[in-house]
Amino acid sequence: MKTERTLLIIKPDAVKRALIGTIIETFERPGLKLMAAKMLQPAADVIKNHYPGTSEWISEMGNKTLASFAQSGTDVQKVMGTKDPAKLGQFVYDRLIKYWQEGPIVAMVFEGPNAVAVARKLRGHTIPALAEPGTLHAMYSSDSSTVSSALDRVVKTFVHASGSTEEAEREIKYWFKGEKFESYTRETDSLYLV
């Protein structure tokens, strides 16, 4: 049976809301196996390098911001002072780092068949206001870009989940550099994995 690993991060607002257990439970319940976890409070640099940070990536973030402004019918020029995707992207990037630094975070690795897709599904849409009912982002937040931009901050996407197996591999190496994951048996293994 081919299993894969994914990276999940519980961000500061969820830690302060005492949702650590609830979030771990959400991923444990379908049988994903907790392989690693640690609480940490990373420096700005460490958070910055979690993201690809290339100019393409920054512009893409800017374009996403433009799209969400268009969707909500808000004038991006008026709120953000620019319509340039690169500038908007950089602005969001800086605010993201600020958000991640609001308190300690919990980085985790979960393992299982299709772990990346399973975890993304349970996390739900990146923007809580758009997340499907029953997903973590929908059940524990209703934050949106309209609210966040009015308050001069990013949307608080309180659970990070790797978007693809390649991203997961890179992110796990990044957050758990050189750490060994001990294998063990979950109660569900004998029912589904043999």
Partner 1 sequence: MKKQKALIIIKPDAVQRGLSGTITKRFEQVGLTIIGLKFQKADSKTVIAHYPSTDVWFEKVGQRTLKNCAAKGVDPKVVFKTADAVSIGKIVKGWLITYFQESPVLIMAVEGYECIEIIRKISGNTIPVLAAPGTIRGDFSHDSIDLANEAMRPLRNAIHASDAVDDGEKEVALWFSPSELFSYERADEKIMFP
Binding residues for partner 1 (CB under 8 A): 12-13, 15-29, 31, 34-41, 103-104, 106, 108, 182, 184-188
Sign, CA dihedral 36-38-41-43, equals negative
Q: Which residues are catalytic?
A: 160
Sign, CA dihedral 41-44-45-46, equals positive
In the complex, least distance from residue 34 CB atom to partner 1, rounded to whole angstroms: 6
Q: Name the H helices within the chain.
A: 12-16, 20-28, 44-48, 55-72, 76-80, 85-100, 115-123, 136-140, 145-150, 165-175, 189-192
- 112 alpha-carbon distance from chain centroid: 19
